[in-house]
Structure 1
């Protein structure tokens, strides 16, 4: 497989609207060639007998069961609130939203 050329790097730089100098073109040509080679090697390793997977090991969702436990009453939750309205926390208006009645 031929390596990526300096002209191809310059073309990619123009598409990305990057201004690269001559030494940078040579430097990135070598780096991009290494990346393309690595991707080619990974592609060679993939086999038709191996099904695509998202994880190498089977996963199971581990969650605890829902249990009803004591919690704060609305009055207790609102007891330390700086402002409340109709048993709800009252917060300052934000994002310029209109107030609703």
Structure 2
């Protein structure tokens, strides 16, 4: 894998920030090594010639599409009435009348 495509410590820190992970100084190099190893494996996979490999089962085929006579078909997509908001909100432990109120679980 070329140097320009390798994951830097700054990349690790940014990904950790986006994932809301707190990595220690000892964990950062290990994460960098692991991410670079994953990218190396992906690079190897990208070198494989798959043009003559038959695709695996597709959902459409499994549901009777693409000229096949097997599998179930999807139900008709029709609009149906949903639950009455007022009834649902009346049973909620805490609401503002339009939305459920829930405790904050992520601190940032």
Question: The TM-score by the shorter chain falls in which range?
Answer: 0.3 to 0.5
Give TM-score scaled by structure 1 length. Answer: 0.48
Larger Rg: 1
Which of 1 and 2 has higher RCO (CA within 8 Å, sep 6+)? 1
Give TM-score scaled by structure 2 length. Answer: 0.45
